[in-house]
Chains A and B, each alone.
Chain A
C-alpha cells in the first residue's frame, strides 16, 4: 500500500520536473521583448479607450508614444496637456502644448427657429433618416435630432434635448474625442478651440443653400451675406458656398461679427450681458 504512494509521488515529480524544464526552455525561446515603458505610459493615460487620439485604445496609443521620436503628432484629448506632460517625462521627450478642444453642433434649428414641414416615422436614428430623406424641416443641412451623437458619446457629454430638436454639448464633460463628429451623418459637429469660461463665437449653421432658400427654411440660417467677413479684423471668418465659417484658432472673441449678422446665425455663448453703449445713454438723456 505504502509503496504505491511512493511510486505515485515519484512519477508525478518526474513528470512535473520534466514539464518545468521544457516550459523553461520554451519560455526562453519564445520570449517577447516588450518595452516596460509601454506599461508605464499606459498607466499614465486616462484608460478611457475612447479612440479620440486616433488609435485603437489607450494601449495602442501608449505603444505609439514609446515608438515615436517626438510627441508633436500625438495627443490624448481626454487627458490634455497634463497627461501629455506626464507621458513626456516618462519617455524623456518634450511635450508639445496643444490647445484644448471642444465639440460644437453647428445648427441652431430648434423648433422655434425651424418649422417642421413633415414627420419622420421610420427607425429613429439619424443615419437612417439621413439616408432616406433630408429631414423634417425644409433645411436639408440641419440637425435631425434623433441623437446618433448622444449614443456615440462615451462621456455623457451630450444632452439630447428632444423638446428643442437639437442636442446640446456639455462643455465641461466634453473631451473632444471626436466620436460624435464621426457619428453625425450631416457633418454638423466641429471640434473647436476651447476658450476660457467656455466662451464661444460660432456660426451655428451649415446651410449651403442660397440665402432666400436657407432663410425660408430656418429663421436663424446663415445666408452668406458676408457682413461678418468684412467686419472681422483677424481674418477668422471665411465665406464658402453661401456659408460663413469662423476659424476658432484665429478668433479673438471680439464679438463684432455677432452684432452685424442680420439673421442671428452667429451665436455667442457664456459671455456676460452686453453693456449699453455710453453714447446711446447720452442721446437718451439729452432728448
Chain B
C-alpha cells in the first residue's frame, strides 16, 4: 500500500505528454525582459542602467531585504532600458530589458558537465551562497530558499523533504530533471541537509514516475541519510503540507509553517539549483520549463533562460495551435491564464500549457446542490461551499473563523463541483481580503 495524504484530494487525468522528451536547451532569445520581482517578498532593486554591458550570471538587481533575493542576468549583451512591462497578470512590473549579444559567461562559473560531489562549506556559508545566488523555490511558489533554511527561534528542523511529486497534470520538468540529473539533485540535497544541520532527507515521488523512483532508489545507496518514498498518485500531493503528511504522517497545525513539525520542503529543481550554485558557482538564471498542450506539435522540456519571451518557447515547440483557448503559466490546476504571449519566463514558470478551446472553457455555473463533494475533496479539511458564500456576501470575519487562510488554492473544490461553481475564485478573493484585515490588525 503506497503512502498518500490523509484528507481529500482528486486525481485528474495526467496528460503527461512530454514525459519522454529529453531536456533540450532553448536557443538564446534576441532580447530578454527580466522582472526584478520574481519571488515572494520585496522586489529587488536594479543595479544596472541603460547602456551597461552585462555578462551571463552578473547581478542586475540586488535584494533589498531578508525576504527577497538577487536577480542575475541570464544573457550577455547591452542593457536596453530599465522600465515597466506587463507580467503574466497583465499589470506592469519593473524589470531590465537586455539586447543579447553572444553568450559570454562570468569567468567564475564552471560550465563543465562533470559531477562534483565533495563540498567543504559550513552551514552558514552555504545559506549565504544560496542567498547570493538568487535561489527560490522552483516548484512555483518562488519563496526565497535561504529564508526557509534559517528556522525561526526556538524551532529546529529534523528532516528535509525533497518534492519530486509533480502532481500537476501535464507538467514534466521535475520528472525529466530527476531522470537526467539524479546525482546532481542528490548532492544538492546533501548540501541542503548540511545547511540545515539535519541527518535525514526523503525524496517523495508519485508512482506515475516509476522510472524516476527506480533510478533514484538505486542512486541513493551512495548517499548517506537520503531515502526515496514512492507515493500514491493524488493531487495536490505536491503541496508542502500534503507532502509532509504523506511522507511522515505528521500534520502541520493550522496557520503554522512546516518547520512546526520539524520539516522543510524543497523542490527537486531547487535542489538542482543549489547544487549548481555551490559546486559550479552558477547563480539561478535558467530553469527547465515544460511546454505542452494537446494541440501542440512538439510538447517538450526546455532549459530556458529567465526573461525569454513565451512566444520563443511556443515557436520552438511548433507554433501556436489554431484552436488554442487559453495559455496557462503553470499547470492546469493551479496555473494562471496569461493575458498575452509577450510575457517573460520567470523563476517560477514551471510550464506553459496551451489548452484547447473545448478543454479550457468553463461550463455554466448553476446552483449549489449541497452534495458536499467540495468538502470531502478539500485536502485542508475546509468547507469550500461555505467559504465561497462568505466571500460572495463579503462576510470576512466569519470567513476568517472558518479558516479561509488555510486554503492552499489547489482548486480541487472547483474541479470536483458538479454544478461548476467558481468556488476557488470567491475563496481566493475572500482570502485576499481577510489577509488585508489581518495585516492591518497587526499594525
Decide yes or no: A134 and B86 within 8 Å by CB, A117-B339, A118-B339, A140-B91 being known contacts. yes
In the assembled complex, B402 has its CB within 8 A of some CB on chain A: no
> Using a Cβ cutoff of 8 Å, how many contacts connect chains A and B?
47
Query: What interface size band does chain A fall in?
Result: 10 to 19
Decide yes or no: A123 and B426 within 8 Å by CB, A134-B89, A134-B91, A140-B86 being known contacts. yes
Q: Is the CB of A121 within 8 A of B361?
A: yes
Q: Is the CB of A135 within 8 A of B90?
A: yes
In the assembled complex, B443 has its CB within 8 A of some CB on chain A: no
A123 contacts which of B84, B361, B425 (Cβ < 8 Å)? B425
Q: How far is the CB of B123 from chain A (nearest CB, A)?
A: 39
Q: Is the CB of B429 within 8 A of A131?
A: yes
Q: Mark A128-151, 1 if CB is under 8 A from B, else 0.
A: 100111110010100000000000
A118 vs B337: C-alpha distance in the bound complex, in angstroms?
A: 10
Q: Is the CB of A121 within 8 A of B86?
A: no
Q: Is the CB of B90 within 8 A of A133?
A: yes
Q: Is the CB of A131 within 8 A of B428?
A: yes
A271 vs B361: C-alpha distance in the bound complex, in angstroms?
A: 45
Q: Is the CB of B428 within 8 A of A121?
A: no
Q: How far is the CB of B293 from chain A (nearest CB, A)?
A: 17
Q: How far is the CB of A147 from chain B (nearest CB, A)?
A: 15
In the assembled complex, A92 has its CB within 8 A of some CB on chain B: no
Q: Is the CB of A133 within 8 A of B339?
A: yes
In the assembled complex, B92 has its CB within 8 A of some CB on chain A: yes
Q: How far is the CB of B343 from chain A (nearest CB, A)?
A: 11
B429 contacts which of A117, A128, A140 (Cβ < 8 Å)? A128
Query: What interface size band does chain B fall in?
Result: 10 to 19
A26 vs B86: C-alpha distance in the bound complex, in angstroms?
A: 69
In the assembled complex, B384 has its CB within 8 A of some CB on chain A: no
Q: How far is the CB of B322 from chain A (nearest CB, A)?
A: 17
Q: Mark A146-182, 1 if CB is under 8 A from B, else 0.
A: 0000000000000000000000000000000000000
In the assembled complex, B250 has its CB within 8 A of some CB on chain A: no
A165 vs B432: C-alpha distance in the bound complex, in angstroms?
A: 26
Give the most central of A121, A127, A133, A209: most B CB within 10 Å: A133
Q: Mark B81-124, 1 if CB is under 8 A from A, else 0.
A: 00010100111100000000000000000000000000000000
Q: Is the CB of A131 within 8 A of B340?
A: no
In the assembled complex, A36 has its CB within 8 A of some CB on chain B: no
A118 vs B339: C-alpha distance in the bound complex, in angstroms?
A: 6
Q: Is the CB of B90 within 8 A of A127?
A: no
A209 contacts which of B92, B340, B426, B429 (Cβ < 8 Å)? B92
Decide yes or no: A121 and B429 within 8 Å by CB, A133-B91, A134-B89 being known contacts. no
A138 vs B426: C-alpha distance in the bound complex, in angstroms?
A: 24
Q: Is the CB of B340 within 8 A of A117?
A: yes
In the assembled complex, B336 has its CB within 8 A of some CB on chain A: yes
In the assembled complex, B134 has its CB within 8 A of some CB on chain A: no
A140 vs B337: C-alpha distance in the bound complex, in angstroms?
A: 16
Q: How far is the CB of A88 from chain B (nearest CB, A)?
A: 36
In the assembled complex, B362 has its CB within 8 A of some CB on chain A: yes
Q: How far is the CB of A220 from chain B (nearest CB, A)?
A: 20
A128 vs B84: C-alpha distance in the bound complex, in angstroms?
A: 24
Note all chain B residues with C-beta closer than 8 A to A128: 425-426, 428-429
Note all chain B residues with C-beta closer than 8 A to A132: 89, 336, 425
Note all chain A residues with C-beta closer than 8 A to B91: 133-134, 140
In the assembled complex, B422 has its CB within 8 A of some CB on chain A: yes
Decide yes or no: A134 and B429 within 8 Å by CB, A118-B339, A118-B340, A121-B361 being known contacts. no
Note all chain A residues with C-beta closer than 8 A to B89: 132-134
In the assembled complex, A272 has its CB within 8 A of some CB on chain B: no
Q: Mark A212-234, 1 if CB is under 8 A from B, else 0.
A: 00000000000000000000000
Q: Is the CB of B429 within 8 A of A127?
A: yes
Q: How far is the CB of A196 from chain B (nearest CB, A)?
A: 38
Q: Is the CB of B362 within 8 A of A134?
A: no
Q: How far is the CB of B362 from chain A (nearest CB, A)?
A: 5
In the assembled complex, A16 has its CB within 8 A of some CB on chain B: no
Interface of chain A residues 168 through 220 with chain B (CB within 8 A):
209
Q: How far is the CB of B387 from chain A (nearest CB, A)?
A: 13
Note all chain B residues with C-beta closer than 8 A to A209: 84, 92
Note all chain A residues with C-beta closer than 8 A to B337: 133
Q: Is the CB of B425 within 8 A of A122?
A: yes
Q: How far is the CB of B88 from chain A (nearest CB, A)?
A: 8
Q: Mark B21-49, 1 if CB is under 8 A from A, else 0.
A: 00000000000000000000000000000
Q: Which residue of A lies closest to B432 (CB)?
A: A131
Give the most central of B91, B336, B339, B428: most A CB within 10 Å: B339
Interface of chain A residues 18 through 60 with chain B (CB within 8 A):
none
Q: Mark B313-336, 1 if CB is under 8 A from A, else 0.
A: 000000000000000000000001
A132 vs B427: C-alpha distance in the bound complex, in angstroms?
A: 13
Q: How far is the CB of A113 from chain B (nearest CB, A)?
A: 18
Note all chain A residues with C-beta closer than 8 A to B336: 132-133
Interface of chain B residues 51 through 86 with chain A (CB within 8 A):
84, 86
A121 vs B337: C-alpha distance in the bound complex, in angstroms?
A: 10
A123 vs B422: C-alpha distance in the bound complex, in angstroms?
A: 6
Note all chain B residues with C-beta closer than 8 A to A127: 429
Note all chain A residues with C-beta closer than 8 A to B92: 140, 209
Note all chain B residues with C-beta closer than 8 A to A138: 86, 90, 340
Q: Mark B333-353, 1 if CB is under 8 A from A, else 0.
A: 000110110000000000000
A125 vs B425: C-alpha distance in the bound complex, in angstroms?
A: 10
Q: How far is the CB of B309 from chain A (nearest CB, A)?
A: 16
A125 vs B432: C-alpha distance in the bound complex, in angstroms?
A: 15
A134 vs B89: C-alpha distance in the bound complex, in angstroms?
A: 6
Q: How far is the CB of B388 from chain A (nearest CB, A)?
A: 9
Give the B-binding residues of A (Cβ under 8 A): 117-118, 121-123, 125, 127-128, 131-135, 138, 140, 209
Give the A-binding residues of B (Cβ under 8 A): 84, 86, 89-92, 336-337, 339-340, 361-362, 422, 425-426, 428-429, 432
Return the 7 tightest CB-CB contacts between A and B, nearest first: A134-B90, A123-B425, A123-B422, A133-B90, A118-B339, A133-B89, A134-B91
Can you list 16 A-B contacts with CB-CB less than 8 angstroms, sorted by A residue number? Answer: A117-B339, A117-B340, A118-B340, A131-B432, A132-B89, A132-B336, A132-B425, A133-B89, A133-B91, A133-B336, A134-B89, A134-B91, A135-B90, A138-B90, A140-B92, A209-B92
